[in-house]
Structure formats: C-alpha cells, structure tokens
Structure 1
C-alpha cells in the first residue's frame, strides 16, 4: 500500500471513530435544566394518548458504547487496521497461515511420515493412507477430474487403464502430480491443406478407432496424416506417451470422438495443462494422492483394510 492510500485509510478510520464518539456525546448529554426525567417529546403521538419522549439513554448503555470505542482503538493499535501500520502485535494473515500450515504438516508427518519416499503402489497397501489421499484428492483434484475421478471433457479419466503420459506406472503418476504436464497439440490447418485437409485427416483419425467415416476422405487423409501427424502420434496412430500424444486407435477420447470435436482439435490445436502440485501439496501429500489415484485403476492389488 502506498503512503498516500495508507494516510487516506487512516484518515477514514479516525474520522469514523471520532464521529461515533461525538455522536454518542451529543445524543447522551443532559441539556440545560432538563435533567434525566425530562418531559421533552419528539412530537410523535399515537392513538391520541401514546407519546414518544426524547430521553437520554441509560448510563450503563452509554458506558458500553464508550467501552466499545476504547476497545476499537486498542484493537487497531494491536492489530493491523490503520493503513500500512503493522500493529504492535506484529500479526499478519500470512504468518497465521504459515503457523497453521506448520502445525498441520507436523500432524501429517507424525501420522504418515513412515510413507516418506515410499513408492505410491506400496503406500496404496495401507488403507489409512489411501483414505487420506482420497480426501486430498477431493480438495485439490476433484474440481477438474470429478469427485469420482472419471474426468470430463478435456480432463482424463483416472479410473481406467488409458494414460496419455506414460503407461500408468507409480513413478509416472507421481511425476505428473509433482511437476504437472503441459499438452502441446499445435494448430495444423495450414500444415495439412486448410479446411479440405482438416476434413480428410479427421475422417482418417475416426477410421483409426473404428468410427464409420467416408472411405475416400479417410484414404486422402491418411497421406496427409503420414506427412504431419505421424511425427507425434506414430504412423499407426498408437501415440507417444513420452510426448503425451494420445493413442488414436483405442476409442478413448479426451475431447470427444465426434467429427466436430476432432476437426476442432486438428484445426486449432489443444493446450491442456495439469498444474504442478508439489508447491501446493508438498512431496509427502503428493505421494498420498498418488497412492489413491493408483488404487483407482488397480483395485485388485490394494490390500484390504485389515492389512499392514
């Protein structure tokens, strides 16, 4: 906050407190010889004989207001509330967060520290760790992958055996969680012959996974595919898990298998991004999430709740 804004905020706060104090003093004072039992009225009369009197507030009530004002001044001096003034307590929301996080990390380390550095498939043998990983997944991953981890358009299903990056090994899953992934499907309309080329390659790509397509268009698209698309997806369309280039023959589609969705991806490219979660979760929590994710597609290999 700049000095100018800080002074402006301080001015507004002081003005409001002073205004409240003045208003309290002015409305509660005894005027002249009227005394506490003044018969002065507001002029409001109801039903002919019910009159509203203008009397000061009770002394105890007024004192509560004064105590409130004094408390607010002390609070603003102790905690930050006057512009850029840090307060005599030195309290900050960032410090409060860091302290709470350190306390939570200590509890987690005590409960799950034995899993530090352990492969996630081994962690998945411990139901308590998988259960905690599921809660972490719900808090940090379900927004994109869904509460059931089955994904949505543009977000992969984590419960099947189809993997865009790698083959679903424990190390690859953990790598994805820790460091994220960045898809890089470039727009290819100009490279494959404009709208005609996009139409032909789309038909060929559909044919690779058994989707009914015009044979003539698919045949023409095969040559265009071989010249441009095969560099990433392979000559047979099986993909390249190292590059994150998906298999086009397995019937699993991240953005949809209809003609419009495939042609859109070819024409405009795709840029899906899985953010790195190590800065958010830390290494141990990432392993616990990884154990949960690994367990989703390896149900038969997860030991029952009584195992250790």
Structure 2
C-alpha cells in the first residue's frame, strides 16, 4: 500500500468524487423532460418501440419529479458531506473527523467503563493477583481474546510460539517483565550465518547442539561441531549452551525447543537465522488489564509460589 500514500492520490480521488457529483447533476439536467408541462389526459405517449410478450409496450414517459428531486438532494448531501468530513484528499473537513480519534475515544470510554472491575487489584501485588480467583477468571478471558491465537488456548504454545506454562523464559520471567513484553511487544532476532558458515559445518554445529539436550547425534559431527559452536554461537548462547536471558538467547541444553529438534531444522536456523516478533498490546489493553494478564501468565509457571 506504500504506492498509494503520495499526495497526488488525494487529488485523484477528489477529482473522481467531485466529477461523479457533477456528472450526476448534468445527467439529470440533460434528461429534464419533467420540466415540460404535464401532458393532458388521453394524450398519446411516445413509444420506445420495445414490446414484450406481444402486448407489453415500453413507453417514453418522463422521469417522475420525486425521483429527480431525490437525486438532486443526494448530490447536495454528498457535497455537504465532503465539506464536513475528510473526503477530499488530505483536507480534514470542517469537523476534522478521523477514524483514529474515534477509536481512541471508544477505547477511553471502554477503559473508563471497566475501571471499577480492576480497582480492587490496584493495591495487590502480582503474586496476590495470580492467586485471586476473580482475577484468574479475568486473566483467562484476556488471554483467550488477546494471546491464544499464537500461544494456544492452553498457553502451551506451538512451533515458533513459546510455551508460557513451563517456566522456561527467554527473558526474566518476572511479572514486571511479562507486563513490559505485553505492552511493548518483543522482537527476537538470530543472525543468519549463511555465507559465513558452510552447510557442512552448520550440520556439525547442529549435531553438537542436539547433543547438549541429550538428543541422538553423530559423534564425529559432535566433535567438529563443538569448535564451530564456540566460534559462532557461544557469544549469545553461552559456552555451556544455557543461554542468556539479557539477550533473549534461549537455553540450548534443557531439552525445550521453540521449533523442531530435527537436524535439518537446526541447520536451517543456523544458516537462515530467525526473526520472531510479538506485537505490542499497549494500545489495545489498558494498564490495569495488562497487570492482571501478566500476573495470570506468571502464575501458570509459578504454581508453587501461589
């Protein structure tokens, strides 16, 4: 759609809108037989020459006046609309209406309406919220409406979407960090090593990575892959493969995988990298909703703390 944001498109659309109104008025004027005096009763009406079923003749009667006035009034309405509303290119109109402002007003009204529901949680800690039965009900509904499309209705994730119930976190895993992630989103990036690491060496590194999680791997590849891992991967994932939460680098030794454990999938990840994004919901959920939702998510993997 980036091809359609130039100002010239606004002039183009404006010309079509105004031209359409002008054409409609001209068409009504050009077919103005209704201005003539009404034929006297019994006066023959000119036939168009079209006859159906032997006796149904189409007559050339003038357009009813009410029909013409209706279209003229619609043209006046259209002009008034274009003056008041943003219908002529970049002109905001006299009312300066925008759909973004309308949505913002609706969101503000909705936030005001639900504020009493969340007021009781304002003085509670995230741990207390996670134990509260009513807050759990709210958290479930917020999660199903906002997060389940990617993380699953049971919050146990799917390929490329993390399991939120296993206490294995790419970040800190605290209620505050979870709330920040919900509000601001997250962008996880692993660089692509294609052109730096050849496929043979990538396969060796993949074998070594599999061995860290006690998965079956070619022992010869594991020996050669260890050096490649230490050269290219250890800076983020750690020399022991236990990851780095500050960088969002996952633990490669705990047997928990965001994607497939197959050798081919790991090689593809090494060569092509990864670019995973979680959208920000700070403009969708209120701060109170984010607080309850983050506490609920935290509680999924911290049942012993509740």
Bigger shift: residues 207-216 or 169-178: 169-178
Q: 2:126 aligns with which of 114, 120, 134?
A: 120
What is the aligned partner in structure 2 of residue 104 from structure 1? 110
Over residues 152-178 of structure 1, what are the superposed CA-to-partner deviations in whole Å (9 max), with x where a residue is unaligned?
222211132322223x33233223323
Q: Structure 2: state its 5+ residue gaps.
A: none
What is the aligned partner in structure 1 of residue 240 from structure 2? 236
Bigger shift: residues 128-137 or 87-96: 128-137
Q: TM-score, normalised by structure 1?
A: 0.80
Q: Is the 8 A contact 1:36 1:56 kept in 2?
A: no
Q: Is the 8 A contact 1:119 1:170 kept in 2?
A: no
- State yes or no: 1:144 paired with 2:141: no
SS at match of 1:80: coil
Q: 1:186 aligns with which of 187, 191, 208?
A: 191
- State yes or no: 1:42 paired with 2:42: no
Over residues 282-304 of structure 1, what are the superposed CA-to-partner deviations in whole Å (9 max), with x where a residue is unaligned?
532321321332243356877xx
What is the aligned partner in structure 2 of residue 162 from structure 1? 168
User: What is the 5 A alignment of 1:48-67?
Assistant: 48-67=54-73
SS at match of 2:229: helix
Q: Distance in 2 between matches of 1:65 and 1:53?
A: 22
Residues 282, 53 of structure 1: CA spacing in aligned structure 2 closer, same or farther, 3 A cutoff? Answer: same
What is the aligned partner in structure 2 of residue 285 from structure 1? 289
Q: Structure 1: state its 5+ residue gaps.
A: 303-308
Q: How many residue pairs were aligned? A: 300
Q: Distance in 1 between matches of 2:60 and 2:174?
A: 81
SS at match of 1:236: coil
User: What is the 5 A alignment of 1:1-308?
Assistant: 8-30=12-34, 35=39, 38-116=44-122, 118-166=124-172, 168-188=173-193, 194-298=198-302
Residues 267, 61 of structure 1: CA spacing in aligned structure 2 closer, same or farther, 3 A cutoff? Answer: closer
1:259 to partner: Cα distance = 0.3
Q: Distance in 2 between matches of 1:240 and 1:6?
A: 50
1:133 to partner: Cα distance = 3.6
Over residues 67-96 of structure 1, what are the superposed CA-to-partner deviations in whole Å (9 max), with x where a residue is unaligned?
323322332222222333333333222322
Q: TM-score, normalised by structure 2?
A: 0.81
What is the aligned partner in structure 2 of residue 305 from structure 1? none
